[in-house]
Amino acid sequence: MKITDILKKDMILSNLQASEKQGILQELAIVSAPAASLSADEIFNVLMDRERIGSTGLGGGIGIPHGKIKGLQNPVICLGLSRQGADFESMDGLPTHIFFLLLTPENSTGLNLKLLAQISRMLKNGPFKEILLNTSDLDQLYAAIQREDEEF
């Protein structure tokens, strides 16, 4: 399964407004709620529960907030970009700019790990990260993600 099998253009926020973790998670939850057929509050609570275990701010400007949700039928991926950077309590203490939200069904550990690994591999590509950080046009962002997704 490719990231772009799940991530659709309308699930990309090219200019997140929040500057801290809770606000970022709320923005991502609002956009992903219709695709998940859940309320934004339900998604936000699952994400915050996961963050209490440990921050999903990986460092290097990247955050991959994720959670497993009972009753979710299909995985949901949302991309959010913070131009100013946000305090996401990342491992390196630096602002986070790129957020890939991943929601998976509760009993889909294998799929969850596979998608997390794919997202992580994509974000290890420096030129790809630069495109995400320096492009605000949704068509161009989505095309860049499709190109990178083809590599896997």
Token pair 């630069």 is found at: 130
pLDDT tens digits, residue range 1-48?
899 999 999 999 999 999 999 999 999 999 999 999 999 999 999 999
pLDDT tens digits, residue range 62-103?
999 999 999 899 999 999 999 999 999 999 999 999 999 999
Global pTM?
0.94
Residues carrying an active site annotation: 66
Residue 49: CB atoms within 10 A of its CB come to: 10
Beta bridge partners of residue 87, listed in sequence order: 20
Spatial separation of the C-alpha atoms in residues 11 and 35, rounded to whole Å? 9
Sorted by where each starts, the structural domains of the chain and their CATH numbers stand as 3-147 (3.40.930.10)
